[in-house]
Chains A and B, each alone.
Chain A
């Protein structure tokens, strides 16, 4: 007469967690003046669950007093101005076309793959003891004219220059 419990598969826990991190990153960074008006654009590459979480949050939460718009990209050629770009992909060949395009803007590039922090992204998600943490590259923040708060650096698992 006992019934099997049903796994909650409607929630992707990592996607939700990463979307929370992305919001927190955005709140801890200052963009150039030209980016402080209009929509706050978050671009997502190859991660529909993450994009969905961000879209849900965008319905009720603004970022730095700007309405949030989430854009999903399947082609680097389509990439336009954005404040944040999350690129899912484990190899440079997956990441580079997008990061190269995003670097034309004052965009915070976020990845989740080993080695990306050295050249391609200002923030890279890493797993530490099962937990999602992040590493930062100060130079890439500077290159993009993004001012990052000290408190964010303190929370990073590691910071490279």
Chain B
């Protein structure tokens, strides 16, 4: 248990005596230290309804801790998430009321912890392919971090989140059979990679993955072409595919510029140029790849 909470409790008991009348917040703290979280929750809710208690930073501080532990007991349900929200709200309220900065350090530490759980939940939802929830929790994480540390630079985190989300969406995209869904997913994937490139044009992962996304889109279109298609459709579809290969090229070239010895990039360039009927360049990058492999 937190040392400050124990100190407060000991002080309270020493000043009032074990059997003296305690205010609801102090009673809640006592229940909390006795590990009776349900009682502590009940009492702290009474405390915040009393005008005098509600005006004290310590009341909200206790509430933050009680709800943080309630959340820890139930961290994977929406009820648990709601308890985390109450904990966050309470710690923020503590900071607002704590003019003496008595609880500032503790609150910051707890909020940091809660913020990290929001980020982890966002990543966990991505793992489960629940994109909307993942985005929601990531946004909450950022909102909270902004409150704790308004100077925080989110660039690295944003890049990490967007790259992971895009890679998960790509897996869904590859499995999707409905063209409308594929189109929708493709827009999201491109926007995410472009978002990363806007933040860091030298991000090799975003450049490479975006190129591969465009290339695979083109290849999938060709792979799904039926032999019964009217002749002139071959040209129309080819035009669309060429457009995708052309879009892929600058991003793969950028990935190559950033790391000319990455095998996947050399293979990508060879494939894109081959698709664009530039056999000479395709063979050049294929030979570069073979040289690299022979030197291993």
Q: How distant is A25 from chain B, measured CB to nearest CB, in Å?
A: 9
Chain B interface: which of A38-46, A73-81, A123-131?
Answer: A123-131
Query: Any chain A CB within 8 A of the CB of B238?
Result: yes
A51 to B163, alpha carbons, bound, how many Å?
Answer: 39
Query: Any chain A CB within 8 A of the CB of B164?
Result: yes
Query: Any chain B CB within 8 A of the CB of A37?
Result: no
Interface contact tally, CB-CB below 8 A? 97
Is there an interface contact between B227 and A23, defined as CB atoms closer than 8 Å? Answer: yes
Complex A-B: 14 CB contacts under 8 Å:
A1-B164, A2-B164, A2-B166, A2-B205, A2-B209, A4-B209, A13-B223, A14-B277, A16-B223, A17-B234, A20-B229, A127-B277, A130-B246, A130-B277
Is there an interface contact between B222 and A2, defined as CB atoms closer than 8 Å? Answer: no
Is there an interface contact between B219 and A11, defined as CB atoms closer than 8 Å? Answer: yes
Is there an interface contact between A130 and B166, defined as CB atoms closer than 8 Å? Answer: no
Q: How distant is A123 from chain B, measured CB to nearest CB, in Å?
A: 13
Q: For A11, what are the chain B residues with a Cβ–Cβ distance below 8 Å?
A: 219-220, 222-223
A28 to B234, alpha carbons, bound, how many Å?
Answer: 14
Q: For B205, what are the chain A residues with a Cβ–Cβ distance below 8 Å?
A: 2, 4
Q: For B170, what are the chain A residues with a Cβ–Cβ distance below 8 Å?
A: 5
Total chain B interface residues with beta-carbon distance under 8 A = 42
A130 to B244, alpha carbons, bound, how many Å?
Answer: 12
Query: Any chain B CB within 8 A of the CB of A24?
Result: yes
> Which of B160, B231, B238, B241 meets A24, CB within 8 Å?
B231
Interface of B is mostly: helix
Query: Any chain B CB within 8 A of the CB of A9?
Result: yes
A103 to B238, alpha carbons, bound, how many Å?
Answer: 31
A119 to B285, alpha carbons, bound, how many Å?
Answer: 33
> Which of A2, A28, A127 meets B231, CB within 8 Å?
A28
Chain A interface: which of B47-55, B179-187, B263-271, B287-295?
Answer: B263-271
Query: Any chain B CB within 8 A of the CB of A150?
Result: no
A129 to B246, alpha carbons, bound, how many Å?
Answer: 11
Is there an interface contact between B123 and A13, defined as CB atoms closer than 8 Å? Answer: no
A23 to B234, alpha carbons, bound, how many Å?
Answer: 11
Name 7 extra pairs, CB < 8 A, besides A2-B167, A8-B223. Answer: A5-B212, A8-B219, A11-B220, A13-B241, A23-B227, A57-B227, A131-B242
Q: For B212, what are the chain A residues with a Cβ–Cβ distance below 8 Å?
A: 4-7
Q: Chain A: residues with CB nearer than 8 A to chain B?
A: 1-9, 11, 13-14, 16-17, 20-21, 23-24, 28, 57, 61, 127, 129-133, 151-152, 155
Is there an interface contact between B160 and A132, defined as CB atoms closer than 8 Å? Answer: no
Q: Which residue of B lies closest to A90 (CB)?
A: B279
Query: Any chain A CB within 8 A of the CB of B215?
Result: yes
Is there an interface contact between A4 and B238, defined as CB atoms closer than 8 Å? Answer: no
Is there an interface contact between B234 and A24, defined as CB atoms closer than 8 Å? Answer: yes
Is there an interface contact between A5 and B167, defined as CB atoms closer than 8 Å? Answer: yes
Query: Any chain A CB within 8 A of the CB of B208?
Result: yes
Is there an interface contact between B167 and A3, defined as CB atoms closer than 8 Å? Answer: yes
> Which of B209, B239, B267, B268 meets A131, CB within 8 Å?
B239
Q: Which residue of A lies closest to B215 (CB)?
A: A7
Query: Any chain A CB within 8 A of the CB of B117?
Result: no
Q: For A23, what are the chain B residues with a Cβ–Cβ distance below 8 Å?
A: 227
A7-B264 CB under 8 A given contacts A16-B223, A20-B234: yes
